Structure 1
């Protein structure tokens, strides 16, 4: 499989954001002392070589696992999602997830050498889907790009921008020096930022401008979520992608950055168009379920690269209404 033809495409021009917009996304910056100490540490990490960062990530991830930080959550998730795996296998997957998270954090601190060596020569798994995305973007239309907390989703977004796909990232406002650095890196890479409040309309507007929207679809939300199967269990999931797709008619592509040593290989599937409207059919949930299933297929292949530390199934689906109660209401 050859490298994508757009690997040499120029990066999209940076999206100019007002300082007020950036503050809304990153929240309040840390205090002077905290900011000074954090920047001191981050500056040291930023100067590490790729190999040194990898060694540090393996040490820190392994240490966090041994200390048991959220380990019970990770192992419980794995026991229910992958009961066919042995206990030893589940522990190995959990430890790998900690190392993955450590890599993400350390790479977020780096100002240079952020991308894997030779990323521009990397192959794409799902060539037809990638070519379909290229053709779609070449017409001046935006695309819906869906990913997960997998591999390094931040670097994947940067790779897509450098391959000529202009992005707006749907983000949550988070506090702290690290999250400020992450938000600034997103803007520096050329990504626009979409705040959760009013996100569907901002997404529709961005697609109308011919810009693609990059969103993570693997975290539970407490309200207004749709429940779709994920590893055999119903999981509360944001409907924002499906609603935007239905309003615009623009399909979704699932993109995942799979680590293979020092390399990151892009896995892509799509287009996944919105289902046609049909009376009595919940097309929003159906579309969300199809995209979530595509995410699951990649996670099953490389489970140690997903964030099992998150309580993905924290919110239970509503209990089905009993015939007796529905009849009482009808009367």
Structure 2
């Protein structure tokens, strides 16, 4: 019964009008920015040290609003116009005869890239799941229901996820991996701070020899500007050495995008170990 109630609750929220959700976002953004401002300012001081306190607050508040709008946009993918900025890179993805990997930070409408690729006939899945091993049952029920309603093909995070990803890519699926999470992995420097980045996409790409791309999206009103670029893997050294170099290269690429578009990224959560 509890699970049915959770599914029903998600369904009701999912079908609320976007205009109503956006109004709630304005309220929620003020609360989020106020309660988490110290975390946002810490991150901004790493990324953009030349900013003063007032400039940091302006960016943090704008980022909170955009991030919440991007979150509720998950329920309304068809509402947005998708502008593909890098047609050549996207054409390579569309014409690929094998599966591949797309790595991205949390920018743009949540899983807009997964939705768009499937709309274009490119079989694509993303990863969902609350908890380090997908063990938060109630949250996973709600996430799965939302993904079902949004028509987002996905895999749930689990202990044997790597094997599942290998099989999906071999079957021709593209896998979307959000890479700006705080997670265990290989050491990288992220905005001048020591942290870790998951090695999963690099391990898969080296083992399978599949294509791998970097993607980010920018929100501009109801327009999603979709950027794609081929990611060049390292070829020198042991597999472990190559993965460490790949991870740092990706961390640096995300840094550039986030520094260039700071209001498009969520600063209210700790991303540093």
Superposed pair shares fold, TM > 0.5: yes
Deviation at 1:177, TM superposition (A): 6.1
Q: 2:182 aligns with which of 202, 217, 220?
A: 220
Q: Alignment partner of 1:145: what SS?
A: strand
RMSD: 2.7
Q: Alignment partner of 1:153: what SS?
A: coil
Q: Alignment partner of 1:184: what SS?
A: helix
Deviation at 1:31, TM superposition (A): 6.2
Seen in structure 2, the aligned counterparts of structure 1 residues 180 and 301 have a Cα distance that, compared at 3 Å, is farther
**In the alignment, structure 1 residue 155 sits paired with structure 2 residue 124:** no
Question: What residue in structure 2 maps to residue 47 of structure 1?
Answer: 16
- Gap regions ≥5 residues in structure 1: 1-28, 315-331
Q: Alignment partner of 2:111: what SS?
A: helix
TM-score, scaled to structure 2:
0.86
Question: What residue in structure 2 maps to residue 129 of structure 1?
Answer: 89
Question: How many Å separate the matches in 2 of 1:273 and 1:30?
Answer: 47
Seen in structure 2, the aligned counterparts of structure 1 residues 220 and 153 have a Cα distance that, compared at 3 Å, is same
Question: What residue in structure 1 maps to residue 72 of structure 2?
Answer: 106
Question: What residue in structure 1 maps to residue 147 of structure 2?
Answer: 186
Question: How many Å separate the matches in 2 of 1:116 and 1:263?
Answer: 11
Seen in structure 2, the aligned counterparts of structure 1 residues 284 and 260 have a Cα distance that, compared at 3 Å, is same
Question: What residue in structure 2 maps to residue 81 of structure 1?
Answer: 47
Q: Alignment partner of 1:115: what SS?
A: helix
Q: Alignment partner of 2:77: what SS?
A: coil
Larger radius of gyration: 1
TM-score, scaled to structure 1:
0.72
Counterparts of 1:283-322 in structure 2 under 5 Å?
Answer: 283-314=242-273
Q: How many equivalent residue pairs?
A: 268
Q: Is the 8 A contact 2:100 2:211 kept in 1?
A: yes
Question: How many Å separate the matches in 2 of 1:213 and 1:194?
Answer: 12
Question: What residue in structure 2 maps to residue 59 of structure 1?
Answer: 27
Question: How many Å separate the matches in 2 of 1:45 and 1:245?
Answer: 35
Q: Is the 8 A contact 1:78 1:308 kept in 2?
A: yes
Counterparts of 1:199-238 in structure 2 under 5 Å?
Answer: 199-221=161-183, 223=184, 225-238=185-198
Q: Is the 8 A contact 2:186 2:198 kept in 1?
A: yes
Question: How many Å separate the matches in 1 of 2:88 and 2:173?
Answer: 21
Q: Is the 8 A contact 1:250 1:274 kept in 2?
A: no
Question: How many Å separate the matches in 1 of 2:2 and 2:263?
Answer: 32
Deviation at 1:61, TM superposition (A): 0.8
Seen in structure 2, the aligned counterparts of structure 1 residues 83 and 60 have a Cα distance that, compared at 3 Å, is same
Question: How many Å separate the matches in 2 of 1:183 and 1:280?
Answer: 35
